[in-house]
Structure 1
Amino acid sequence: MNTSSIIQNIPCTLVTGFLGSGKTTVINQLLSNKPTNERWALLINEFGRIGIDGALLASSQTAGDTHNNIAIREVSGGCICCTSQLPLQIAISRLLSEHRPQRLIIEPTGLAHPRELLRQLSEPHWQTALSMQAVITVLSGVQWQQEKYRSHDGFQAHVRDADVLVINRYEQLSATYRQDLQQWIAALNKQAKIIWAMADSQTAPDFQTTSDSKITADSSDFIQLSNTYLSELTAQLTKPSNAISKQRIANMTESRVSLTPANSLMSSASINTNNDIETSSSTSELPYRYHDEQQGMLLAGWRLPPHWVFNANDLQQWLLQLPNWQRIKGIVNTSDGWLQLNFTPDSLTINETSAQIDSRLEIILLAGSDNKSDNKFDNKNEAVTTVKRTKVELNNEHQSSIEWERCDRELMALVIPSNNQT
């Protein structure tokens, strides 16, 4: 792939809100202020299978003659916040690759739990492609007035994970009720910025301001307030998301494990530093390990300090003995120097490489068997044989219950004690 074709740092805004909160109206307001020369993309997730929101947005934008520069894709029939993450990944990847937008807006179903979606969008594989902006959450004042909504965990969840709360349908609330609403929000998320929405001037009813003065839809005050609101709302498209940043830290905390070389002789005094190696603040977050399961595959990866030197032969043997491995990739500091590993069931490739800011390993295992790997090699360069197994045999076996903690211990045992390093 050419460098020019790589998609990076596309501004992305998540617009959330409980079912019926008015997300489509807010998105239409954002789209109506889109610069005519920019390409935008909109990903809509509906829990039902028909898909209506996309058609509504498309028709409304056609009237404004901006629809030609807006690509709309729908994911219907379920929540994109599902555990597999695949519907979300596929939909975003296709939108970015096929339309190459300059901005992406995601509208999840109102039944989605925003925390899970934030967790997915905080994963490392999206941190390069997407630049996550403020999470905009729409809250209906009419819904909030009802106890069944105020006390509903799903309703509250959208408030907890918002950077910005756009409150609409509040026109009939008195000043006292509006203060109560703000206090309720503060109890759940005191960092959230509150924006009081203004309805379309053609449909907006008369309403009272907090000072009990009346503003009508055809007054100059209403027009000024409406313009101010739209300006403030649009500005959120370029403000970084604190919610996403917090979730990235939470992801690291949940995934980071206590990895320590088996030999305690590894000391700071014996660290072999190289002034030519680029330094990074990320090294303070090491060691780091994650594991996951997707579509019948078990995934795990490690990022480790660059001064941890692994025994090259022992590391390769350990990797090849992992159960049912399908892919192994890595750049690791070893006794043979920095090595680049690229293993598939059909070939083993090992190349020397330059020193890196950290060591990295990633493995993909086939779930469904507790036996050792079917891939057997007599040395690091040549495959001897591959025992093929039928799908029936794999389906009849129990799902693999690999012990990741044991893998951690075995991997750490391969670190060469510092006093033996040369």
Structure 2
Amino acid sequence: MKSPIILQNIPCTLVTGFLGSGKTTLINQLIATKAADERWALLINEFGRIGIDGALLASSQDSHTTNDIAIREVSGGCICCTSQLPLQIALSRLLSDHQPKRLLIEPTGLAHPRELIQQLSAPHWQTALKMQAVITVLNALQWQQDKYRTHEGFQAHIRDADVLVINRYAQLRSDERQALQAWLANLNSKIFIIWAEADKQTSAHDIDISTNYSALLNAQLSKPSSVISKQQRVNIAQPHKAVVSLRPPRHSLTENTLTNSANHDSAQPDTDIELPYRYHETQQDILLAGWRLPTEYVLNADQLQDWLLTLPNWLRIKGVVHTSNGWLQINFTPDSFSTKTVSAQVDSRLEIILQASNSQEGEIDKEIDWEIDWEICDRELMAMVMVD
């Protein structure tokens, strides 16, 4: 049997943007900068709605190679909102089959980029992929409309981006362009703005339009992503975040395990923390918490599921956990509950996302009327560890 090819540090650029923002146009512009002898790969998450030029258009979900561009399309929902499995399969096959020198990923315009960034920040991708600046596209004509400007999904793309390419801004008045820049600064003060070359006819008195748009855009392909780097350090203690070591009931542990688990209450980088531990943090309007447990900790499967489903205001629950029913992959959303038996892992990992506000779309955020006591959650989770 042929051994799989192990690829490392493949430059990868995530191109995001709301529906109709112009992601496809931008991707074509990026591809136009490709050296003739380089093979690139493109992962698309909008099957049937892709406006790629005829030379790059793939007509099915299978991977096609045209002009040294390998294309794979992922259908059946947003790769950011569904199970990570479609993303992992598509990426793995695309990289192993075509061995590209560079990878571009275009999620659907309905995607929430933070979820995809979290997935691409996972340890198993940190070796294979070298994540470059996250590029987001903004359609200025959409921004003029209040229904877009105040939409959480529209704003999310700005918050989770390193670089913003603004197009279709020629019709904006001077005061509107200033208002746009103020709006952007409020959402993401560190974002790097590029004004698309197609709108060069706009007066340069109020904005800095690059005289070499293609070169400026191409340069982003080699800039590391601070957004993704921050997510990769999610287990490092920061304000509004805590990392706490845990211990299940003493009678279910060996003396050696107790010794290794003790004296780790201080926050440390992920690579230095001994299992088990928990982290939690607040991001915008969500609460995020995760646990990593040693493989020898076997949790009661029924109790675990019941406990997870009683958590308040949960939006997403996912993990791979060693349970009394074997190793289970857990993927819960409010609309679906999925568990799947998987092969043994190096440790158990569980993550939950909770809604931190009671507001509805279009309403002003309200303060939550409940609180999470993470120490109680820790004790409840550790109580599920099976006793030999």
For normalisation by structure 2, the TM-score amounts to 0.65
Letter of the 2:126 counterpart = Q
Of 246, 250, 253, the match for 1:259: 246
Is the 8 Å Cα contact of residues 24 and 52 (structure 2) preserved in structure 1? no
Question: Per-residue deviation at 1:52?
Answer: 3.1
Cα gap change, 1:99 to 1:404, in 2 (>3 Å):
farther
Q: Which whole-Å CA distance do the structure 2 matches of 1:410 and 1:139 have between them?
A: 47
Q: SS state of the match for residue 15, structure 2?
A: strand
Structure 2: stretches of 5+ with no match in the other structure: 59-64, 280-289, 301-321, 329-340, 351-376
Question: Per-residue deviation at 1:408?
Answer: 3.9
2:347 maps to what in 1? 362
* Aligned Cα root-mean-square deviation (Å): 4.4
Is the 8 Å Cα contact of residues 132 and 221 (structure 2) preserved in structure 1? yes
Q: Which whole-Å CA distance do the structure 2 matches of 1:85 and 1:345 have between them?
A: 14
Cα gap change, 1:11 to 1:316, in 2 (>3 Å):
closer
Answer yes or no: is 1:231 the counterpart of 2:215.
yes
Alignment of 1:63-74 (within 5 A): 67-74=66-73
Cα gap change, 1:345 to 1:281, in 2 (>3 Å):
closer
Answer yes or no: is 1:210 the counterpart of 2:210.
no
Letter of the 1:19 counterpart = L
Letter of the 1:206 counterpart = Q
1:8 maps to what in 2? 8
Alignment of 1:65-104 (within 5 A): 67-104=66-103
1:140 maps to what in 2? 139
Is the 8 Å Cα contact of residues 256 and 288 (structure 1) preserved in structure 2? no
Larger Rg: 1
Cα gap change, 1:235 to 1:106, in 2 (>3 Å):
same
Q: Which whole-Å CA distance do the structure 1 matches of 2:115 and 2:189 have between them?
A: 21
Is the 8 Å Cα contact of residues 7 and 99 (structure 2) preserved in structure 1? yes
2:233 maps to what in 1? 249
Cα gap change, 1:189 to 1:412, in 2 (>3 Å):
farther
1:302 maps to what in 2? 293
Alignment of 1:155-194 (within 5 A): 155-194=154-193
Structure 1: stretches of 5+ with no match in the other structure: 61-65, 214-221, 272-279, 292-298, 305-314, 328-343, 349-359, 366-402, 415-422
Considering fraction of residues, name the structure with more helix: 1
Alignment of 1:258-297 (within 5 A): 258-260=245-247, 282-287=270-275, 289=277
Question: Per-residue deviation at 1:180?
Answer: 1.3
Is the 8 Å Cα contact of residues 136 and 163 (structure 1) preserved in structure 2? yes
Question: Per-residue deviation at 1:303?
Answer: 6.2
Q: SS state of the match for residue 197, structure 2?
A: coil
Q: Which whole-Å CA distance do the structure 2 matches of 1:345 and 1:105 have between them?
A: 29
Question: Per-residue deviation at 1:283?
Answer: 4.4
Q: Deviations over 1:169-220 (max 9, x none)?
A: 1122233222211110000000111111112xxxx6733222599xxxxxxx
Q: Which whole-Å CA distance do the structure 1 matches of 2:324 and 2:184 have between them?
A: 50
Q: SS state of the match for residue 207, structure 1?
A: coil
Q: Which whole-Å CA distance do the structure 2 matches of 1:161 and 1:8 have between them?
A: 25
1:310 maps to what in 2? none
Q: Which whole-Å CA distance do the structure 2 matches of 1:22 and 1:147 have between them?
A: 19
Q: Which whole-Å CA distance do the structure 2 matches of 1:91 and 1:267 have between them?
A: 38
Is the 8 Å Cα contact of residues 39 and 103 (structure 1) preserved in structure 2? yes
Question: Per-residue deviation at 1:239?
Answer: 0.8
2:43 maps to what in 1? 43
Is the 8 Å Cα contact of residues 133 and 237 (structure 1) preserved in structure 2? yes
Cα gap change, 1:159 to 1:322, in 2 (>3 Å):
closer
Cα gap change, 1:251 to 1:167, in 2 (>3 Å):
farther
Q: Which whole-Å CA distance do the structure 2 matches of 1:34 and 1:145 have between them?
A: 34
Is the 8 Å Cα contact of residues 28 and 57 (structure 1) preserved in structure 2? no
Q: Which whole-Å CA distance do the structure 2 matches of 1:101 and 1:95 have between them?
A: 8
Cα gap change, 1:114 to 1:364, in 2 (>3 Å):
closer
Letter of the 1:362 counterpart = D
Question: Per-residue deviation at 1:236?
Answer: 0.7
Q: Which whole-Å CA distance do the structure 2 matches of 1:212 and 1:124 have between them?
A: 40
Letter of the 2:347 counterpart = E
Q: Which whole-Å CA distance do the structure 2 matches of 1:86 and 1:269 have between them?
A: 35
Answer yes or no: is 1:153 the counterpart of 2:138.
no
Q: SS state of the match for residue 21, structure 1?
A: coil
Question: Per-residue deviation at 1:123?
Answer: 1.1
Cα gap change, 1:95 to 1:212, in 2 (>3 Å):
closer
Q: Which whole-Å CA distance do the structure 2 matches of 1:238 and 1:301 have between them?
A: 33
How many corresponding residue pairs?
301
Identity of aligned residues (%): 54
Cα gap change, 1:57 to 1:140, in 2 (>3 Å):
farther
Cα gap change, 1:128 to 1:205, in 2 (>3 Å):
closer
For normalisation by structure 1, the TM-score amounts to 0.60
Q: Which whole-Å CA distance do the structure 2 matches of 1:155 and 1:172 have between them?
A: 20
Q: SS state of the match for residue 95, structure 1?
A: helix
Cα gap change, 1:284 to 1:77, in 2 (>3 Å):
closer
Letter of the 2:51 counterpart = D
